[in-house]
Structure 1
């Protein structure tokens, strides 16, 4: 199993941020642009590949899972629908207990799905969020006490939202 920080990084392999900050425009982009890029990303995070280089179909399946998980976080897709292709089951683990396992034939996707499922079972998945700023949607783990954080960064997206709201409110009253 991988930790939720790797899941955050996985969700952020697509960068949808398009805002400007301090006069510089952020350029959105895709990090998983080829099977080679996927292979490098997996190796940098010690995710299993079963010894074979990812193929174009593996890249497509990886991007499809990432897209589905992001849609779940945005409330655009039901989690059951998102994980339809990833049947989960209980299997024995080395400590004589049980663990949740996926068997998609792509070990890195299994590790991601298993982590998501286990974090959901522990109640941690609800703290994985996409920034509420429509020009951001950066994935982050909400560490706020209440678990109701909306912004990837209060210094950037939260501040931009509050400033915009303040200006709009004063424009209407002034």
Structure 2
């Protein structure tokens, strides 16, 4: 789990959603009323939110150059059901993509992805390469080649495993 600061803009929503599941412990905050309330979800909406979460995780693993940890519904197939609209600021004429319906989580995630695409930040949101983690994090490294959510935890574990393998 990351000690890093939250992702910028709408990517913070995507990061928070992916990080509702702690793979190592199995704890899923979407199982709690507080966790559902954080995303405006009812109990009936949780299965769709979990499908979205795992599709996002697979995409973030791809951003980091890793295959998904299991088969998932492609993110593009899910986001195709989230209509966006162009919102134009009356004062400065700037335009953004916004959800046509701001309620559903899928629509808010689609708008966040669109915003990140325009800002050039989408591929900086990654999932930790550690198989027991896959925590979402925003890669702020200059070269954009971060591999772990936390160098002190997941990175240190990976380096120690490699070191021990050499010694054996």
TM range (shorter): 0.7 to 0.9
Shift in Å, 1:116: 1.7
2:15 aligns to what? 8
Which gives a bigger RCO, structure 1 or 2 (Cα 8 Å, sep 6+)? 2
Secondary structure of 1:15's match? coil
2:94 aligns to what? 97
Q: Distance in 2 between matches of 1:94 and 1:69?
A: 33
The alpha-carbon distance between structure 1 residues 28 and 139, as it changes in their structure 2 partners (threshold 3 A), is: same
Contact 2:130 2:158 in 1 (8 A): yes
Shift in Å, 1:102: 2.5
Q: Give ranges in structure 2 of 5+ residues lacking alignment.
A: 1-8, 63-67
Q: 1:71 aligns with which of 53, 58, 63?
A: 58
Shift in Å, 1:83: 1.6
Secondary structure of 2:81's match? coil
Shift in Å, 1:62: 2.3
Q: Distance in 2 between matches of 1:84 and 1:107?
A: 14
Q: Distance in 1 between matches of 2:154 and 2:56?
A: 22
2:126 aligns to what? 129
Q: Distance in 2 between matches of 1:94 and 1:8?
A: 31
**C-alpha RMSD of the superposition:** 2.5
**Aligned residue-pair number:** 151
Q: Give ranges in structure 1 of 5+ residues lacking alignment.
A: 19-26, 43-48
Q: Distance in 2 between matches of 1:14 and 1:120?
A: 25
Shift in Å, 1:15: 1.2
Contact 2:84 2:107 in 1 (8 A): no
Q: Distance in 1 between matches of 2:89 and 2:16?
A: 27
TM-score (norm 1): 0.73
TM-score (norm 2): 0.75
Whose Rg is larger?
1
Bigger mean CA offset, 121-130 vs 93-102:
93-102
The alpha-carbon distance between structure 1 residues 89 and 118, as it changes in their structure 2 partners (threshold 3 A), is: same
Shift in Å, 1:137: 0.6
Greater strand content = 1
1:88 aligns with 2:75: no
Shift in Å, 1:5: 2.8
